[in-house]
Amino acid sequence: MMVQAAAILGHFSASSVALRAALASASVGVAGAVLSVFVVLRRWAYLGDGIAHAGFGGIGTAVLLSIAFPALNNGPAIYLIATVFSLATALAVASISRKRAVSGDAAIGIFVAATLAWGFIAFAIHAHLGRGGPGGWEDYLLGSVNGMSSAAAALAAAMSAGIVLTVVALRRQIVLYCFDPVLAQVTGVPVGFVHYLLILLVALVIIVGMRLAGNLLVPALLVLPGAAGLRVSRSMRVVMAVAIIASVAATLAGMAVARHWEFIAPGPAIVGVLFLEFLAAHFAGGRAKSQQD
């Protein structure tokens, strides 16, 4: 009787871990998909990379800080420091590209290189001091389904809802800004606000998704769904719907793969599915267009 109860409880808790992981994945999938359409239209595909790599520099910073303050050598503290570092980098990229002193493309290139270098230097210093690799940091690079707390899952869902609501409320301004920023400005859109807001929303998806798909692969969530949607339609509603469906399907499938074959990390699994979906959309879109012609 006790054994049976323990087995049932064990099964229940395992499935609730799965449920939390699924909720968090689907949330990040939806928010990433909605933003990915604008990221592709605004030609910011590389921006996600830049902000995500800043997370690596952030983990490096956390690692060095943990030498001085051992209390910081735990998952939540590392995550928090990486978050602050990513947000600061996102703001710096937004500011530099806005002033047009440096093109957005170059601004991102500069920050990718600098934050990656900083991350590696920090890890090297940590190793040199004989402390080895910091605990669990590869989870941040490749993603992990283990140990997702209900608080983390709820946070992911709340952030995703916030991002989607913001985009829905400001969709007109965002669409015109992505169509042509100068045209948006002369129409009376506060383009500075929209510019910073979009970059911050992208950074938020990366920060939430980082835990899930990993720092190196989460930018794919901000490009592939939108790219797939834009291949199949010229209607914003259809593009959004395709992007969201593709993204949620890929994140759930990727998480399932990672749970089933534990040697595969969720990040690469999610991106693999997204890429297959993109290929399908690419050929379906091409065929639809040739039939129209």
Partner 1 sequence: MAYPYPAVSEPIVEICGVDFAYGQRLVLKHISMTVAGGTTVGVIGPNGAGKTTLVNLLLGLLTPTRGTVRICGMPPNAAVRRGDVVGSLPQTPRMPKGFPISVRQLVRLGLIGKLGLLGKETAADLKHVDWLLKKVGIEELADVPIGSLSGGELQRVYIARALAAQPHVLFLDEPTTGIDRAGQDQFIQFLGDLKQSLALTVILVSHDLRTVAAVCDRLACLNVTLHYHDVPGNMPRELAREMFGVDLPELRMEKSTR
Contacting positions for partner 1 (CB under 8 A) = 41, 169-170, 172-173, 175-176, 179-180, 182-183, 185-190, 230, 233-236, 238-239
Closest separation between CB of residue 281 and partner 1, Å? 13
Residue 236 or 284 having the CB closest to partner 1: 236
Q: How far is 240 from 147, CA to CA, in rounded Å?
A: 32
Closest separation between CB of residue 239 and partner 1, Å? 5
Q: How many residues does the chain have?
A: 293
Closest separation between CB of residue 83 and partner 1, Å? 27
Residue 172 or 287 having the CB closest to partner 1: 172
Residues 63 and 137: beta-carbon distance below 8 Å: yes
- List all residues 6 or more positions away from 272 whose beta carbon is below 8 Å from its beta carbon: 254
Residue of 242, 240, 274, 222 whose CA lies nearest to 45: 222
Residue 28 or 189 having the CB closest to partner 1: 189
Closest separation between CB of residue 61 and partner 1, Å? 36
Residues 31 and 163: beta-carbon distance below 8 Å: yes
Residue of 123, 152, 131 whose CA lies nearest to 70: 131
Closest separation between CB of residue 241 and partner 1, Å? 11
Closest separation between CB of residue 45 and partner 1, Å? 14
Residues 227 and 48: beta-carbon distance below 8 Å: no
Q: How far is 286 from 283, CA to CA, in rounded Å?
A: 5
Half-sphere exposure of 133 (CA within 13 A, CB side): 7
Q: How far is 115 from 85, CA to CA, in rounded Å?
A: 9
Residue 207 or 223 having the CB closest to partner 1: 223
Residue 9 or 238 having the CB closest to partner 1: 238
Residue 10 or 190 having the CB closest to partner 1: 190
Closest separation between CB of residue 178 and partner 1, Å? 8
Residue 88 or 200 having the CB closest to partner 1: 200
Measured CA to CA in angstroms, residue 149 lies from 75, 141, 192, 198, 209 at distances of 12, 19, 37, 28, 14
HEC sequence for 203-220 = HHHHHHHHHHHCCCCHHH
- List all residues 6 or more positions away from 118 whose beta carbon is below 8 Å from its beta carbon: 57, 60, 61
Residue 184 or 270 having the CB closest to partner 1: 184
Residue 118 has a CB neighbour count (10 Å cut-off) of 19
Closest separation between CB of residue 189 and partner 1, Å? 6
Q: How far is 187 from 180, CA to CA, in rounded Å?
A: 11
